[in-house]
Chain A
Amino acid sequence: MSSASTILKNDGLTFAEKAISLNSDGEKIHRAGDIAVVNIDWAFAQDSSGPLAIKSFEEMGIDKLWDPSRVLLVIDHTYPAADEKVANLHSMIRKFVSKHGCRIEEGNISHQYVLENIAAPGMIIFGADSHTTQAGCIGAFATGVGSTEMAIIWASGQIWVQVPETIKIKLEGRLPKGVFARDIILHYIGEVGEDGANYKSIEWYGDTVKELTIDSRACISNASMESGCKTSVFPIDEVARRFLKEVDREPKYVIEPGDRSEYADEHMIECEKLQPVVTGPDTLETAHAVEEMSNIVIDEAFIGSSTNCRIEDLEVTARILKGRSIHSGTRCIITPASKKIYKEAINRGYVDIFLDSGAVFTNVTCGACVGTHLGVLGDGEVAISSSSRNYIGRMGALTAKAYLASPATVAASAVEGRVADPRRYL
């Protein structure tokens, strides 16, 4: 048995080892490879994982949630319902929420909502959605599970977890003009592959990190999941403290990884050497420099999803689209990641710029990212997207092709009607 303060001060433990040790029964020290049962601070599901979680919960015959005040259902993926089938599953969620008195949020993307309203450093957050890792941007241990495991958490407030090994990634140097957080993470996944960090926890360090806003860190923590990681965390520094002050939230624990922690792997990314990246199609394992891809003609440019549609993303998009038109024959769809961002985009005048350019500005939804509505690709169509994945058939037809890039590269491509270098516009 160790007290919380002993665990926090232990200089031989990684972030993940500390987070799990602090939040499991008995505060025993758990090291990489151990199986632990963690106590959950927050558990959420969305409209495509929630219904199956509700079904599993009810099949077990459990009649109440472990703590309704810590359970959240978010209707975000196909919001508002695109058809009857979706509408019926949304109704199922609303009935469950009203029966159990837990929290519901409609028309906000879960990960951004959780960051804006719930997450705090040192919390254990489980979501029935892979991109739950986003909350690692402010030092929460946050990870995704499936629906049945979410039902187990709803019933018990606990779940098993294997303490992950950790990869330390150091970001050094200034990001050049036109290169953003998304380019860093697309570059990293291109290097290590879609399972390069499978089962592992990623800790981010280095001078460049200090320059990254919470929006940028959220993008990286979210998109890190595409390398298979369990969690992806940033240090609690001045930038994180300022964010916490703005949202008036206290940390549960400020976890500093120990200096003598053991790492499974260490990487260094020289950010000043990076270029805008275009990844795909069909896989995140092929990351190209934008200039290699400029012959690719596009039908759709999508700026959206929890991965990459925060206010700084809309700011750069507006900078590029201001006074310009979307290329004829190309459609540009912009979907903000939260209502807060949506309102801010209106207040800052970005929405006028988007509409004047010929872009579509939609309500908050996961929509086009998952090919469910508001921008689905047809046969043989090609898209460039700031969303999370470019897999076969994800954004629509099986014969469609999707490429991933930063919002700036997507916006520049929307103007030119083909994959384009954003540096010309910045």
Chain B
Amino acid sequence: MLRGKAWVFKDCVNTDIIIPFRFKSRTNDPYEMAKYAMYGLDQDFPKKISKGDFIVAGRNFGGGSSREQAPVALKYAGIAAVVAESFARIFYRNCFAIGLPILEIPDVTKRVAQGDELLIDLDNFTVQNLKTKETMSAKRITGYLQHLLKEEGFINYYKKHKSFPWTTPKPP
């Protein structure tokens, strides 16, 4: 179970907003990237949040550039999960690849307000708003993505299994 505060954003928060190119292209250090998380909308965002907080956003979160530095910046800034109405495709893949949990809930921005405390259950794909007491169901994740979510990304997965999710022998 994850517990934290929601930081609510609008629709179409793209990866240029999450971390501008000129910062992300000049470092390979995730903590340096984290200093610029959400720079396009709030340059003080990394200082304002507490470790374990969540981003809640509207549709098409993470659109545009393929930059993996976007989810990396959010993760290393302390964001524990992103809940959005929908995600752009490369951002979505990148989150599983690097182990940043994401959940898709239509209308979530209507059901969570800035600062609401949330309880996220990644095993059951639910988000509970502790302020309104409402429990929301997120889209369930299956297959390879579930393995990546559980094992926090491809690198950890590979280190543990010495294989990729599709080459790992199935248990008897």
Residues of A participating in the B interface, judged by any CB pair closer than 8 Å: 35, 37, 47-49, 51-52, 55-56, 59-62, 77-78, 83, 85-86, 89, 92, 127-130, 144-149, 151-152, 155-156, 158, 160, 193-195, 198-199, 226, 228, 230, 283, 285, 370-372, 376, 389, 391-394, 398
B12 touches A194 (CB 8 A): yes
Residue in B closest to A55 when the chains form the complex, CB atoms? B28
| CB of B36 to closest CB in A, whole Å | 10
A86 to B23, CA, bound (A): 10
Residues of A within 8 A of B64 (CB): 130, 194, 226, 389, 391
The 6 closest A-B pairs by CB, nearest first: A146-B68, A48-B25, A85-B26, A146-B94, A391-B16, A195-B60
**Minimal Cβ-Cβ distance residue in A for B65:** A130
What residues on A are CB-neighbors of B24 within 8 Å? Answer: 48
Q: Name B28's contact: one of A77, A89, A230 (CB within 8 Å).
A: A89
Specify which of A85, A130, A372, A391 is in contact with B90 (CB 8 Å cutoff). A130
Residues of B with Cβ closer than 8 Å to A?
Answer: 12, 14, 16-17, 20-22, 24-28, 39-41, 59-60, 63-69, 72, 86, 88-90, 93-94, 97-98, 143-144, 153-155, 158-159, 164-167
- A147 vs B64: C-alpha distance when bound (angstroms): 15
Q: Which residue from chain A places its CB closest to the CB of B148 in the assembled complex?
A: A160
Residues of B within 8 A of A61 (CB): 159
Can you name 29 A-B pairs with beta carbons within 8 Å?
Answer: A49-B66, A59-B159, A60-B158, A60-B159, A62-B158, A78-B25, A83-B26, A85-B26, A85-B27, A144-B66, A145-B66, A148-B155, A152-B97, A158-B164, A160-B166, A194-B60, A195-B60, A195-B88, A198-B60, A198-B89, A371-B21, A371-B22, A391-B40, A392-B16, A392-B17, A393-B16, A393-B17, A394-B20, A398-B40
Known: A52-B68, A60-B159, A371-B21. 5 other contacts (CB 8 A): A151-B154, A152-B164, A195-B86, A393-B39, A394-B20
| CB of B92, distance to nearest CB on chain A (Å) | 8
Q: Given that A130-B64, A198-B89, A228-B63 are known contacts, is A391 also in contact with B154, CB under 8 Å in the complex?
A: no
B68 pairs with A147, CB closer than 8 A: yes
Q: Is there contact, CB below 8 Å, between A145 and B98?
A: no
A209 to chain B, nearest CB (A): 25
> How far apart are the CA atoms of A55 and B143 in the complex, in Å?
26
The CA-CA distance from A336 to B95 in the complex, in Å, is: 33
Smallest beta-carbon distance B105→chain A, Å = 16
